[in-house]
Amino acid sequence: MKKDLVIIGGGPAGLAAAAAAKENGVDDLVIIERDARLGGILNQCIHNGFGLHTFQEELTGPEYAERYIKKVLELEIPCKLNTMVIDLTQMSESKKNAGSSKANDAAGSKLITVMNRQEGLYTIEAKAVILAMGCRERSRGALNIPGYRPAGIYSAGTAQRYVNMEGRMPGREIVILGSGDIGLIMARRMTLEGANVKLVAELMPYSGGLKRNIVQCLDDFGIPLKLNHTVVDIKGKERVEAVVVAQVDENSRPISGTEEEITCDTLLLSCGLIPENELSGNLGVDMNPATNGPRVNESLETDKEGVFACGNVLHVHDLVDYVSEEAAQAGKCAAAYLQGRLAGAKGEIPIRAVNGVRYTVPVCIDPHRMGETQVVRFRVGSVYKDAAIEVSFNGKVVSSRKKRALAPGEMEQIILKKSELEQFQGLREITFSVRQS
Amino acid sequence: MTDIIVIGAGVTGCAIARELARYDWKVTVLERASDVCEGTSKANSGIAHAGFDAVPGTLKAKLNVEGNGMMDALSAELDFPFKRNGSLVLCFDEGDRHKLQKLLEQGLKNGVKELRIIEKEELKSLEPNVSEDAVAALYAPTGGIVCPFLLTIALAENAAVNGVEFRLNTEVQKIEKISGGYRVTTGQGVLESRVVINAAGVYADRFHNMVSENKLRIIPRKGEYCLMDKKVGNWVTRTIFQLPTKYGKGVLVTPTVHGNLLVGPTAEDIDDYEGVNTTREGMEDLVKRASLSVEELPARQVITSFAGLRAHPVTEQEDFVIGQAEDAPGFFDAAGIESPGLTCAPALGKYLTAQVLEYLPAGARKDFNATRKGIPNMALADEEERQRLIRENPLYADVVCRCELVTEGEIMDAIHRPLGATTLDGIKRRTRAGMGRCQAGFCSPRTVEILARELDKDMAEIGKNDKGSEFLTGRMKEN
């Protein structure tokens, strides 16, 4: 099978990317989704708060997804559900058409091996690919939490699926480690379902989630949040019987003598999300260790020509609205690429993330290829009060935006204008940094 | 009265059961857990040791070299993963060379083949990531890696199809001598048997001491491990041991037969026979000590940690306790089976069966079927094999565990084969579903659902392993 564009993942990123690609003239495209339905993780996020930026209304996760699913169906974009991509490779040299190197030739083709119950195992040859595989939760093992390995330890998202999709309770007496957004949402959700959420413990001196979630999910229900605390032991041989929580020092090491045993039957983990880039790895895409996602340019294109990335596989977002926005750009750029309108790079200007800025997406920008404006998204590495985000060209500060509060849990963005970049003579480097007052 | 009762369905009990199945005996295996391979056999290094460690003349030495030699044929016969990747014992100090030499001589005496000492240059060419501080190493090309779960499960399944009865969830409480045999009281009723074989791991002393005055003592010796992502599974290709140093007994760094990197074990004698918890100290210690063996140990790639208990016997000679108890005719021990017990198991099964034959003669069964076919493995299958499997059953195209690429077809096989899985851990050990980097975050709800559907149970009845380990505590809106 041959396709102009294959979108891997039918969650919010894949849906928005596909719609934008189609609207920009790509007709020969397909979405590959491993689940039985489109919408990705939004389907289990039945709380509201989605879509404030995009639609100026508060939608639930499934409602937000529905808007994009409807669009995709109206645009008659084919979707393969229950279909797993098991490999992604560059078409080998021998199979390339001799002497051609343009985007529209097989030279740049990617081979996507997929598998499903109806059609079996086969390969799709695609001129362009959009990576939209989302992310996964960090597991107990990766967190190195010592103790027994009984039932009752779930990532917050797994518990969310049991409650919201299966209508089942994964536990009654709950301790949550990590104050990521899913953990905060689940603290409220479990409470509403009659469970007793005893504590949210957070290793860092600040929460990893959105401020609004702390207020609405913990404060409103009187659930304590203990910063600088972690779980140092899990007790119970068959089922969790208790966890031991301790305070940590500035190096995140537990402080002896501060241990407190908390009786519970369940430990939920909300300790960070990891972009699912195993397929990107198969293709040899250059990765950014700061995001665990691909390094992309202003067109959201990876170092592999014709391979774009968006959404949580690129970097973990705080709000789905930004995922959709970013994905639409990826879809548009993929269309431009397929139509030969994405001119080859003439001079990419690197963007350096320094002084408290952990990363930026994109990591470089080509003023010739960029649109009139370019959104640069980033996160900071710790909590700042009354600070400023500075953008510098060749070391010279060109803009400084004051921020009352900056926190790692919130994604930030700054819009660069093409005119500014073009007017600056001899631009070699753009720098994003935090300036503390 | 039955002929033979085997207590314990770990690798030792299952290997014995499979050998017993070759003869005209009525054999019952009693296991207190809900599945085979639930004790020490599920939490160890997964190494088929070459056989240079054990003191020449001991049973350990004999069974180790024999067991290692049997692995290739057994792996072909019973279809479990085994690879002869070779092993290295690193020497970090010129002053310790005599210890390498001693190991070499010991190994040669034990009958280990191809054993030799290699110098730094050759070592680095074999293993570029090995520590710069290593000056030489003992190289044992016959060392191997094996999947301890699938070895145990394969032995058990093959025993079961050849007529051995497995009673799971059946804990032995009492053993009494009666005329012509033993009365074994379990939580599920009383059985009588001419012969009892004690393969009860860390509990073997308890059962032995019920019938014998020559008391046995077993200390649970805890070993903690860290398992790392397949991304770094090729950090080393051989199993890397250390000579004991001033830092104590070394830990090993090895690829697993499934392609992860495994680091461990620590060694700590404990009182708790169920004390399989990991500890912060243990894990930190592991990383520190493994870092002596390899450069830049990828410690951030840990995907899970676990601990197992070796059944360490308190005996004059450091050796297994295998054979008929002197004062209890018909009661056979396979006790104190610590490392290299996994390697020894196939040879131990034969060795003990020969002894039982002397006590209770029996004819060979003509219909014994020595082969067993494992569950298909989509992740490892080539394109042609994958296509064939999907044509046979489209469920082999339906991926449940994305990290390890395990399909619904494989999970169905795991449930419906002899001694099929009834728990999430049972599925995991048979198919690897949930063993990958997300550690069952995505696939566990679906696996639970499939188990419930196939076993005609409610999801709330499905557990991780034994009773009490159910995942769900009820439905919504119940309280």
Residue A21 tokens, joined:
């690609």
Of A137, A147, A254, the CB nearest to B278: A147
CB pairs below 8 Å between A and B: how many? 142
Residue A171's SS3 state is: coil
Per-residue confidence band for A270, with pLDDT thresholds at 50, 70 and 90: very high
Domain that holds residue B190: 2-41+149-217+316-359
Q: What is the mean pLDDT of residues B236-261?
A: 88
- CB proximity list for A60: less than 8 A, separation 6 or greater: A45, A46, A47, A48, A50
- pLDDT (tens digit, 9 = 90+) per residue, B9-23? 999 999 999 999 999
Pick the CATH number of A139-271 from 3.30.70.920, 3.30.2180.10, 3.50.50.60, 3.40.50.1980: 3.50.50.60
Amino acid identity, residue A313? V
Q: What percent of chain B has pLDDT over 70?
A: 99
Domain with residues A2-135+274-342, CATH architecture: 3-Layer(bba) Sandwich (3.50)
Among candidate residues B296, B392, B106, B306, the one with its CA nearest the CA of residue A145: B306
User: Is residue B266 domain-resident?
Assistant: yes
Mean pLDDT of chain A: 94
- Judged on CB neighbours under 10 Å (0-12, 13-18, 19+), B56 is middle
- pLDDT (tens digit, 9 = 90+) per residue, A20-32? 999 999 999 999 9
Residue B457 sits at the chain A interface (C-beta within 8 Å) = no
Residue recorded with tokens 């999907």: B390
Instruction: Please give the ipTM for the structure prediction.
Output: 0.94
Given a cut of 80, whether residue B246 has pLDDT beyond it is: no
Given a cut of 90, whether residue B263 has pLDDT beyond it is: yes
Catalytic residue among B49, B208, B258, B312: B49
Q: What is the mean pLDDT of residues A9-22?
A: 98
A93 vs B379 pLDDT, higher one: B379
Given a cut of 50, whether residue A104 has pLDDT beyond it is: no
User: Is residue B50 domain-resident?
Assistant: no
Residue B433 sits in the same domain as residue B295: no
Given a cut of 50, whether residue A227 has pLDDT beyond it is: yes
- pLDDT (tens digit, 9 = 90+) per residue, A34-60? 999 999 999 999 999 999 999 999 999
Residues 366-385 of B with CB under 8 A from A: 383
φ/ψ of residue B318, rounded to 5: -70, 90
Given a cut of 60, whether residue A95 has pLDDT beyond it is: no
Residue B296 sits in the same domain as residue B323: no
How much is the pLDDT for B249?
Answer: 64
Of B438, B468, B474, the CB nearest to A238: B468
Burial B25-55 (b: 16+ CB within 10 A, else e): bbbbbbbbbbbbbbbbbbbbbbbbbbbbbbe
- CB proximity list for A257: less than 8 A, separation 6 or greater: none
Residue B283 sits at the chain A interface (C-beta within 8 Å) = yes
- pLDDT (tens digit, 9 = 90+) per residue, B372-419? 999 999 999 999 999 999 999 999 999 999 999 999 999 999 999 999
- pLDDT (tens digit, 9 = 90+) per residue, B200-229? 999 999 999 999 999 999 999 999 999 999
Residue B328 sits in the same domain as residue B454: no
Per-residue confidence band for B28, with pLDDT thresholds at 50, 70 and 90: very high
Q: What distances in angstroms separate CA A389 from CA A291, A322, B355, one per listed residue? A: 19, 19, 80
Chain A residues with CB-CB distance to B465 below 8 A: 238
How much is the pLDDT for B247?
Answer: 57
Of B282, B302, B459, the CB nearest to A168: B459
Residue B211 sits in the same domain as residue B247: no
Per-residue confidence band for A267, with pLDDT thresholds at 50, 70 and 90: very high
How much is the pLDDT for B479?
Answer: 54
Residue B258 tokens, joined:
């499934």
Residue B298 sits in the same domain as residue B424: no
Q: What percent of chain A has pLDDT over 90?
A: 91
Q: How far is B219 from chain A (nearest CA, A)?
A: 20
Residue B306 sits at the chain A interface (C-beta within 8 Å) = yes
Chain B residues with CB-CB distance to A170 below 8 A: 471-473
Residue B268 sits in the same domain as residue B335: no
CB contact under 8 A, B463 and A238: yes
User: Is residue B475 domain-resident?
Assistant: no
CB contact under 8 A, B464 and A151: yes
Among candidate residues B370, B232, B227, the one with its CA nearest the CA of residue B286: B227
CATH 2.40.50 correct for A345-437: no
- CB proximity list for B86: less than 8 A, separation 6 or greater: B139, B140, B141, B142, B143, B144, B237, B238, B239
Given a cut of 90, whether residue B250 has pLDDT beyond it is: no
Q: What percent of chain A has pLDDT over 70?
A: 96
How many distinct structural domains can be found in chain B? 3
Return the CATH number at B445: 1.10.10.1100
B250 vs A130 pLDDT, higher one: A130
User: Is residue B185 domain-resident?
Assistant: yes
How much is the pLDDT for A102?
Answer: 46
Return the CATH number at B97: 3.30.9.10
Chain A residues with CB-CB distance to B279 below 8 A: 146
Given a cut of 70, whether residue B154 has pLDDT beyond it is: yes
Of A115, A149, A169, the CB nearest to B472: A169
Chain A residues with CB-CB distance to B477 below 8 A: 193-194
B49 is catalytic: yes
Residue A298 tokens, joined:
């202003």
How much is the pLDDT for A103?
Answer: 45
Residue B474 sits at the chain A interface (C-beta within 8 Å) = yes
The residue of chain B with its CA nearest to that of A34 is B399
Q: What distances in angstroms separate CA B342 from CA A314, B68, B265, one per listed residue? A: 44, 10, 15
Amino acid identity, residue A269? L
Residue B203 sits in the same domain as residue B231: no
Chain A residues with CB-CB distance to B397 below 8 A: 115-117, 119-121
Q: What percent of chain B has pLDDT over 90?
A: 96
How much is the pLDDT for A98?
Answer: 46
Residue B228 sits in the same domain as residue B301: yes
Residue B399 sits at the chain A interface (C-beta within 8 Å) = yes
CB contact under 8 A, B469 and A155: no
Whether the Cβ atoms of residue A402 and residue A348 lie closer than 8 Å to each other:
no
Q: How far is B424 from chain A (nearest CA, A)?
A: 10
Residue B225 sits in the same domain as residue B136: yes
Cα–Cα distance for residue pair B437/B425, rounded to 1 Å: 16
Residue A264's SS3 state is: coil
Q: How far is A218 from chain B (nearest CA, A)?
A: 20
How much is the pLDDT for A93?
Answer: 56
Chain A residues with CB-CB distance to B305 below 8 A: 141, 144, 146
Mean pLDDT of chain B: 96
Given a cut of 50, whether residue B327 has pLDDT beyond it is: yes
The residue of chain A with its CA nearest to that of B304 is A141
Residue B37 DSSP label? S
Q: What is the mean pLDDT of residues A342-355?
A: 87
Chain B residues with CB-CB distance to A238 below 8 A: 463-469
Residue B423 sits at the chain A interface (C-beta within 8 Å) = no
- pLDDT (tens digit, 9 = 90+) per residue, A364-398? 999 989 999 999 999 999 999 999 999 999 999 99
Per-residue confidence band for B336, with pLDDT thresholds at 50, 70 and 90: very high
Given a cut of 80, whether residue B477 has pLDDT beyond it is: no
Whether the Cβ atoms of residue A233 and residue A243 lie closer than 8 Å to each other:
yes
- Domain boundaries of chain A, sorted by first residue: 2-135+274-342, 139-271, 345-437
* Domain stop point among B254, B288, B313: B313
Residue B239 sits in the same domain as residue B306: yes
Residue B232 tokens, joined:
């770094």
Per-residue confidence band for B316, with pLDDT thresholds at 50, 70 and 90: confident
Residue B48 tokens, joined:
């088929």
Whether the bond into A146 is cis, omega within 30 of 0:
no
Residue B429 sits in the same domain as residue B293: no
User: Is residue B51 domain-resident?
Assistant: no
**Angle between helix B408-416 and B424-431 (nearest 10):** 110
The residue of chain A with its CA nearest to that of B382 is A121
B71 vs A107 pLDDT, higher one: B71
User: Is residue B47 domain-resident?
Assistant: no
Residue B136 sits in the same domain as residue B240: yes
User: Is residue B158 domain-resident?
Assistant: yes
Whether the Cβ atoms of residue B340 and residue B54 lie closer than 8 Å to each other:
yes
Q: How far is B111 from chain A (nearest CA, A)?
A: 40
Given a cut of 80, whether residue A94 has pLDDT beyond it is: no
Chain B residues with CB-CB distance to A268 below 8 A: none
Residue B125 sits at the chain A interface (C-beta within 8 Å) = no
Q: How far is B366 from chain A (nearest CA, A)?
A: 42
Amino acid identity, residue B378? M
Cα–Cα distance for residue pair A230/B67, rounded to 1 Å: 45
Q: What is the mean pLDDT of residues B105-118?
A: 97
Asked whether the domain spanning A345-437 has the same topology as the one spanning A2-135+274-342, the reply is no
Given a cut of 70, whether residue A125 has pLDDT beyond it is: yes
CB contact under 8 A, B459 and A141: no
